[in-house]
Amino acid sequence: MEIKIATNIDTDIFYAVIKFLKENGWELTIEYDENLFDKGVDFDFYRFEKNTETVLLVWNNWFEGEIKATKEILNEIAKHFNCTLEYGIPEYLHEQNIINDLKPLLKFKKKH
C-alpha cells in the first residue's frame, strides 16, 4: 500500500475529515492535548486507526492541514468531500518520529 501525504488542506475540510473518520468506525488513538492553550488555534494533531491502517492528521494556522494515509484512504476522502487533494511538501508529516517528538504534548487514548 502506497502511503501519501496530502497538504494544504483547508481548515473546514480538515476538521470535517476528523468528524468523517469518527463516524465511519475509525478509532481516535492519539490527540494533541486539549488542555494546551494553542490546540485548534495554532496547532492540532490526530491519529486514527482502523483494522491495520493508520491516518495521521496535522494542522496549523500557517500551513493548514496535512493528512498521511494510504492512497486509497486519501482517494476516499477526496471523493467524499468532492475535492482535489494536493501533494506538496509537508511541514510536519514527513517526520518519521513525529509522535515521539510531540509525545509530551499528546494525549494517548486507550484502545477498546
pLDDT of 47: 98
Nearest CA-CA partner of 10 in 84, 98, 89:
84
55 burial (CB, 10 Å; 0-12 / 13-18 / 19+) is buried
For the chain, give the mean pLDDT: 95
Task: List C-alpha distances in Å: 16 to 4, 12, 53, 65.
Answer: 19, 6, 19, 11
How large a percentage of the chain has pLDDT more than 90? Answer: 95
Does 112 score more than 90 pLDDT? no
Put simply, whether the predicted model's pTM sits higher than 0.75 gets the answer yes
Confidence band, pLDDT 50/70/90 cuts, at residue 111: low
pLDDT in tens, 20-45: 999 999 999 999 999 999 999 999 99
pLDDT in tens, 49-65: 999 999 999 999 999 99
pLDDT of 1: 83
